[in-house]
Amino acid sequence: MTLDSLLSTPLQFLKGVGPRKAADLKRAGLLTVEDLFYRLPFRYEDRSRMQPIASLRPGVKAAVLGEIKSARLAITRRRGFKIFNAIVGDASGAIRCSWMNQAFLADILQPHLPVVIFGDVKLDSTGLHFLNPEYELVTEDISGVHTGRIVPFYEKAGSVTPNMQRKLVRHAIDRLPAELPDILPAELRARLHLVARRAAIDESHFPPNEASVDQLNAFRTPAQRRMIFEEFFLFQIGHAWRRHTSSMELKPFVPLVDDRIRAAAAKILPFKLTAGQRQAVKEIVDDMRQAQPMHRLLQGDVGAGKTIVALLAALVAMENGLQVAFMAPTEILAGQHYGNIVRLLFQSRFRVDLLTGSTPGLKKHTLHAQIERGTSNLIVGTHALVQDTIRFHKLGLVIIDEQHRFGVAQRAALRAKGLRPDVLLMTATPIPRTLALTDYSELDVSKIADLPPGRTPVRTWVKPESRRDEVYQLVRDELDRGRQAYVIYPLVEESEKIDLKSATEMADHLQAEVFPFYRVALLHGRMKSDAKDRIMHAFAGGQIHILVSTTVVEVGVDVPNASVMLVEHAERFGLSQLHQLRGRVGRGPWQSHCVLLYQAPWTDDARERLKALASTSDGFSIAERDLELRGPGDFFGTRQSGVPQLRTGDLARDREIMEEAHREARRIVSEGGLNAELLQFVQQRWQQQFGLIEVG
Ligand code: ADP
Ligand code: MG
């Protein structure tokens, strides 16, 4: 059998794996022999040191090597309850081992056989004994599979017990040839002192006895490191290659910047830019003047002032006769951006249009024609903007606000239309360092680290439901001062109807009983967009005092007079989401409050989250914490976000290995050292294993 066919052997063809077990393994993501090798144990236990039986003490885990002196199956008075007892002895003494309801052991553990026993030593009125210990009959040597060595533990896979998995892995490894071809370049292996592939597989499942169990459980032995590096490296080669190929593309129109354009930009500025904004503008404009398309992420905390930076970039494009598409994640936001931009460009000669999913058909038709003719210069909208029916006359720049809502797919859509505009992504959710090494590693990043002057930090309160009256008093005080408030209700998809009902009831209750002298309105995702618009306008204009909303206000809306953000069921929200919500207030000169109301009992996890949020306003550390608490998958919520499905590595645990893989992959690609075989292999892997779209 060739190596390839061995590795791709479906697990159901292995000895002892029937259809049911194969199905369970498959559900756990294990289809082939290769999957078995690359799914590392999740922990290791040292069962290598045999203790003399006479030295055993109660309450410890111990391994002993001895002989079965006698064995007996006892049936208790409780109907059908069976205990199998065996006495195991070594030169120093003997100990009883008992197994509950495992009568079949009578056929396996027969007198005179040598055996290794591992488990907890217990003491009761009958003396010292092992209760339900692990056992393994000793054949030639004692370096067994389940005992007598450092033993691997695997995530449970349905009916497949850890012992069975262990045995499967052992069998599969034993069938490997002594030398395995290595996909990692030899030069790289030598320089980074990477363990050979065969040894890496073997020793990360069945470590030699001299290995350190602590190091194993930290996943830092040379063998484990090599396995993790391999996976990360293949992943990073894909990114490095994608970046490399896109850097060879040329854009059809390259903007120029001269004094006339600088003066035009200065004219629209309603305020002085912060140092961070100035730097970001410079980096973006420098990119726009390059022959290759810009591919830049603008990061800045909520309220940092990203919009004006994007608008200046848009102005540069338009002054060069190019069109700009400005996309926002929701219609409300698109509408708000549109309003702001129209105001700022009031005196310019550029035509700004709004195009969303709810633009009426006739209007849409006219707009499409204007976009195609080029008479529309800046088009603000939702993802409807990259729909294939729209043809741009001369699209030069695409701005995507809150980009992880859009992700890779939209970029691909643009490319598929043969468009290679400059792309500027904006996000208020800082990208944790690890994720910055994955999908984002293809982007250049600008950061706005400062906030516009005159902002007062928001005060955060974490309050239990029982203090609701106090919270209402705080809201009332703010309203009496002329401020406004948001009340946010979580919307859980599965129970959207119920949640919507409770949000509606809440709005009614607040209006009728709690704040009868103020105006309360409800805003939710199911409303028609003109109804939403009307409410948003009324709130922005101060005619509505309390806006009860589901999370649609989550990103971007800007109402400086609002000074209270009250979050109901705060325990249900993720950390970054809460941070975003908090960012809706604190935009004016007054003190603002964010109240996180929770329903007891809360989980430890929820407590952690709310405390973390109350203790810092630094979006960057909040994002790191969020990633730790929720894991990379949930952090962005979608697969499209470029978070790979990993087999051996763990993004949170193995960050430095990812950094190293990132460095090395880029080096190899930029030095032209990437061979065709490796590239082809990676191209397959990207789809199959990481679940990501093609390398390009
Ligand atoms: P975000 O980065 O969250 O998108 P916005 O662009 O919505 O932030 O800006 C938040 C608010 O700050 C807006 O009202 C905007 O007009 C204001 N702003 C932005 N930059 C400055 C600045 N340099 N000086 C004063 N106000 C600013
Ligand atoms: Mg914004």
Mean pLDDT of 489-509: 76
Q: Whose CA is nearest to atom 26 of ligand 1?
A: 452
Mutate to test the pocket of ligand 1, among 298, 311, 450, 558 (most ligand atoms within 8 A of CB): 558
Are 294 and 436 in a shared domain? Answer: yes
Are 488 and 430 in a shared domain? Answer: no
CA of 306 to the centre of ligand 2 (A): 6
Select from 252, 245, 377 the least CA-distant residue to 315. Answer: 377
Sheet with strand 546-549: strands edge to edge: 459-464, 593-598, 562-567, 484-488, 546-549, 520-523
In a domain, 569, yes or no: yes
Q: Whose CA is nearest to atom 14 of ligand 1?
A: 558
Q: Are 306 and 281 in contact (CB under 8 A)?
A: no
Q: Whose CA is nearest to atom 24 of ligand 1?
A: 452
CA of 689 to the centre of ligand 2 (A): 35
Which residues are in the CB-under-5-Å shell of ion ligand 2?
556
Which range marks the domain in which residue 591 is found? 459-616
Are 399 and 271 in a shared domain? Answer: yes
384 pLDDT exceeds 80?
A: no
In a domain, 641, yes or no: no
CA of 452 to the centre of ligand 1 (A): 7
pTM: 0.70
Check residues 414 and 17 and name the one with the higher pLDDT. Answer: 17
Instruction: Supply 528's token pair.
Output: 């028609």
393-423 residue pLDDT tens:
999 999 988 765 445 566 667 777 778 899 9
The least confident of 11-20, 31-40, 127-136 is: 11-20
Are 511 and 484 in a shared domain? Answer: yes
Q: What is the CATH number of the domain that holds 291?
A: 3.40.50.300
Q: Whose CA is nearest to atom 13 of ligand 1?
A: 305
**What pLDDT is recorded for position 696?**
42
Mean pLDDT of 583-609: 87
Are 353 and 389 in a shared domain? Answer: yes
CA of 579 to the centre of ligand 2 (A): 14
Instruction: Supply 339's token pair.
Output: 């309003």
Query: Which whole-number Å values give the CA distances from 91 to 51, 94, 144, in the listed order?
Result: 11, 8, 21
Mutate to test the pocket of ligand 1, among 307, 330, 338, 446 (most ligand atoms within 8 A of CB): 307
Are 508 and 427 in a shared domain? Answer: no
Are 516 and 418 in a shared domain? Answer: no
Q: Which ligand 1 atom sits nearest the alpha carbon of residue 454? A: 25
Q: Which of 448, 483, 513 is the last residue of a domain?
A: 448
Number of independent structural domains in the chain: 3
pLDDT band of residue 12 (cuts 50, 70, 90) is confident
CA of 576 to the centre of ligand 2 (A): 15
CA of 543 to the centre of ligand 2 (A): 23
Are 471 and 437 in a shared domain? Answer: no
Contacts 24+ apart (CB under 8 A), 134-140: 134/47, 134/163, 135/97, 135/105, 135/109, 137/108, 137/109, 137/113, 138/65, 138/113, 138/114
In a domain, 101, yes or no: yes
Mutate to test the pocket of ligand 1, among 299, 308, 458, 561 (most ligand atoms within 8 A of CB): 308
Return phi, psi of residue 189, to 5°. -60, -40
Q: What is the CATH number of the domain that holds 74?
A: 2.40.50.140
Q: Whose CA is nearest to atom 16 of ligand 1?
A: 305
CA of 674 to the centre of ligand 2 (A): 40
676 pLDDT exceeds 80?
A: yes
C-alpha span between 454 and 588 (Å, rounded): 8
The least confident of 45-49, 97-101, 260-264 is: 45-49
**What pLDDT is recorded for position 695?**
43
CA of 585 to the centre of ligand 1 (A): 13
Q: Whose CA is nearest to atom 17 of ligand 1?
A: 305
Mean pLDDT of 198-209: 94
Ligand nearest to the CA of 330: 2
In a domain, 570, yes or no: yes
455 pLDDT exceeds 70?
A: yes
Select from 646, 645, 615, 652 the least CA-distant residue to 630. Answer: 652
**What pLDDT is recorded for position 322?**
96
Which residues, 6 or more positions from 331, have their beta carbon under 8 angstroms from its beta carbon?
A: 356, 357, 358, 382, 529, 532, 533
Mutate to test the pocket of ligand 1, among 271, 299, 341, 579 (most ligand atoms within 8 A of CB): 271
Select from 396, 257, 377, 305 the least CA-distant residue to 583. Answer: 305
Are 391 and 497 in a shared domain? Answer: no
Q: Which ligand 1 atom sits nearest the alpha carbon of residue 300? A: 2
Q: Whose CA is nearest to atom 9 of ligand 1?
A: 305
C-alpha span between 275 and 281 (Å, rounded): 10
**What pLDDT is recorded for position 485?**
96
Are 530 and 556 in a shared domain? Answer: yes
Q: Which ligand 1 atom sits nearest the alpha carbon of residue 309? A: 6
C-alpha span between 325 and 546 (Å, rounded): 33
Are 425 and 550 in a shared domain? Answer: no
Select from 32, 60, 36 the least CA-distant residue to 47. Answer: 60
Pocket of ligand 1 (CB under 6 A): 271-274, 277, 300, 302-308, 428, 452, 556, 558, 587
90-136 residue pLDDT tens:
989 999 999 988 889 999 999 999 888 989 999 988 889 999 998 88
Q: Which of 109, 136, 163 is the last residue of a domain?
A: 136
Query: Which whole-number Å values give the CA distances from 643 to 411, 437, 594, 646, 664, in the listed order?
Result: 16, 10, 31, 9, 20
- In degrees, to the nearest 5, what angle opens at C-alpha 664 toward C-alphas 658 and 665? 85
Ligand nearest to the CA of 401: 2
In a domain, 524, yes or no: yes
Compute, in degrees rounded to 10, the torsion defined by CA atoms 532, 301, 304, 308. -60
CA of 328 to the centre of ligand 2 (A): 9
Ligand nearest to the CA of 583: 1
Are 403 and 474 in a shared domain? Answer: no
Which residues, 6 or more positions from 248, have their beta carbon under 8 angstroms from its beta carbon?
A: 292
Compute, in degrees rounded to 10, the torsion defined by CA atoms 461, 462, 467, 469. 40
Which residues, 6 or more positions from 89, have their beta carbon under 8 angstroms from its beta carbon?
A: 53, 66, 67, 69, 95
Q: Which of 616, 640, 664 is the last residue of a domain?
A: 616
